[in-house]
């Protein structure tokens, strides 16, 4: 029985954590999968200083080396640091570097990701774009693209095309990477024409909530913008009912799991073309692409006045993921290939 461990910094709400939780305890073809958190008691990023404990990262790496799993998959830079030390102490263990973002977060991320790249037996990515933009040279190891379609989602409105309404949603960390300040500026432009517009923002504070609330107050949009906090996925599906658009203006991304979820729900994405988003969101076909704030607002306002166009784009968004394999199947297929190698 092969033992597979995926090491993640802490139990958050991001796509990496959601994907790992979706297969926790799964067993495929003689393999058993488990998640390990470096900081298991940390349930959110509010006390982020606690996750910068380098001694703890090294200690967890040493502990995993003693366990000597058949495969260690490391996701996100803190786990990469632990993985580097684990591989150095247990060289026979297969190390997988799982790349999720198209750029390094900072110097430590840059340094240890490149060290892991030298030590890893395989490189997995959630998008081709992430590896192309992040590394100047292609990794020498096999590179596997892992599908990040975590679950099949039933559309919010089944069987017919609802008319578009100016209700926007976002779910994810309220962090600098997501650039919700820009999303609010675009939303403000829409409100000038459609004062009935609503924006529901769902997710825990990742360091930006105070700025976002201040901007909302400064623009006088308190009655238009609702901060709903962190919600489990089932509650998100209910909280976004009646919405027409998913608004996310990220600075950088990998696969952008929440965008794929929104499209399956039947929400039309209004997104920046970063990471893998630029490959599956097509302007005027199944998405509104943000190239400029004024342009994005104008595109949305035009769609609101054209129900047939909205319906056609919504159907395209819904069909985008129909034939994509699930994360679980893609993950364990890659594990099988690695063990055979």
Distance CA 224, CA 175 (A): 21
Per CATH, the number for 167-319 is: 3.40.50.2000
Considering the chain, what percentage of its residues have pLDDT values greater than 90?
71
H-type alpha helices, 77-155? 77-89, 107-119, 128-134
43, pLDDT greater than 90: no
Distance CA 221, CA 104 (A): 34
Higher pLDDT, residue 86 or 14: 86
- DSSP states of 35-71 as a string? EEESSTT--SSTTGGGGG-HHHHHHHHHHHHHH--SE
The neighbour count for residue 322, using CB atoms within 10 Å, is 8
- Type and span of the H or E element at 336: helix 327-340
Decide if 215 contacts 179 (C-beta within 8 A): no
Residues 6 or more apart from 190 whose CB is under 8 A from it?
166, 197, 297, 300, 301
Higher pLDDT, residue 234 or 217: 217
* pLDDT tens, position by position, 125-172: 988 888 888 888 889 888 999 998 888 888 888 666 889 999 999 999
At 46, the pLDDT band (50, 70, 90 cuts) reads low
Considering the chain, what percentage of its residues have pLDDT values greater than 70?
96
* pLDDT tens, position by position, 220-256: 999 999 999 999 888 998 999 999 999 999 998 888 8
pLDDT (average), residues 109-123: 95
Architecture label for domain 2-149+325-340: 3-Layer(aba) Sandwich (3.40)
Q: Do domains 2-149+325-340 and 167-319 have the same CATH topology?
A: yes
- Tell me which residue has tokens 């901007």: 215
84, pLDDT greater than 90: yes
Higher pLDDT, residue 26 or 70: 70
Decide if 47 contacts 26 (C-beta within 8 A): no
Decide if 53 contacts 81 (C-beta within 8 A): no
49, pLDDT greater than 80: no
Q: Name the residue ranges covered by the structural domains of the chain.
A: 2-149+325-340, 167-319
185, pLDDT greater than 90: yes
Q: What is the pLDDT of residue 159?
A: 65
At 80, the pLDDT band (50, 70, 90 cuts) reads very high
pLDDT (average), residues 25-48: 78
Distance CA 113, CA 84 (A): 9
Closest by alpha carbon to 199, among 167, 230, 246? 167
* pLDDT tens, position by position, 248-270: 999 988 888 899 999 999 999 99
HEC-encoded secondary structure of 14-30? CHHHHHHHHCCCCEECC
Strand partners for 130: none
Go through 128-145 and write b for each residue having 16 or more CB atoms within 10 A of its CB, e for each that does not.
ebbbeebbeeebebebbb
Higher pLDDT, residue 268 or 41: 268
Q: What is the pLDDT of residue 158?
A: 67
Higher pLDDT, residue 257 or 193: 193
Higher pLDDT, residue 232 or 295: 295
210, pLDDT greater than 70: yes
């Amino acid at each position: 029985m092969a033992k597979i461990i995926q090491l993640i910094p802490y139990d958050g709400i991001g796509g990496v954590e959601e994907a790992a939780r979706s297969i926790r305890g799964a067993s495929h073809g003689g393999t058993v999968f488990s998640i390990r958190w470096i900081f298991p008691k940390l349930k959110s990023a509010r006390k982020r200083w606690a996750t910068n404990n380098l001694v703890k990262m090294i200690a967890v790496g040493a502990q995993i080396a003693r366990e000597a799993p058949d495969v260690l998959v490391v996701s996100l830079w803190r786990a990469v640091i632990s993985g580097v030390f684990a591989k150095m102490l247990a060289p026979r263990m297969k190390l997988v570097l799982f790349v999720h973002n198209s750029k390094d977060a900072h110097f430590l991320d840059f340094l240890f990701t490149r060290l892991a790249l030298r030590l890893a037996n395989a490189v997995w990515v959630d998008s081709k774009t992430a590896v192309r933009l992040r590394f100047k040279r292609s990794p020498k190891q096999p590179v596997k693209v892992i599908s990040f379609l975590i679950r099949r989602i039933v559309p919010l409105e089944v069987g017919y095309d609802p008319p578009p309404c100016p209700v926007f949603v976002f779910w994810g960390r309220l962090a600098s990477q997501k650039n919700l300040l820009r999303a609010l500026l675009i939303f403000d432009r829409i409100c000038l024409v459609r004062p009935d517009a609503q924006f529901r923002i769902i997710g825990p504070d990742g360091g930006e909530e105070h700025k976002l609330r201040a901007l909302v107050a400064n623009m006088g949009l308190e009655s238009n913008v609702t901060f709903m906090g962190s919600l489990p996925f089932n509650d998100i599906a209910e909280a976004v009912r009646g919405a027409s658009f998913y608004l996310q203006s990220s600075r950088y991304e990998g696969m952008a799991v929440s965008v794929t979820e929104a499209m399956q729900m039947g929400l039309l994405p209004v997104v920046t073309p970063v990471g893998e988003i630029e490959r599956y969101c097509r302007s005027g076909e199944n998405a509104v692409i943000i190239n400029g704030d004024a342009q994005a607002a104008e595109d949305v306002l035009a769609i609101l006045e054209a129900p047939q166009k909205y319906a056609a784009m919504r159907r395209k968004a819904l069909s985008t993921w129909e034939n994509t394999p699930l994360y679980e199947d893609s993950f364990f297929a890659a594990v099988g290939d690695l063990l055979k190698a």
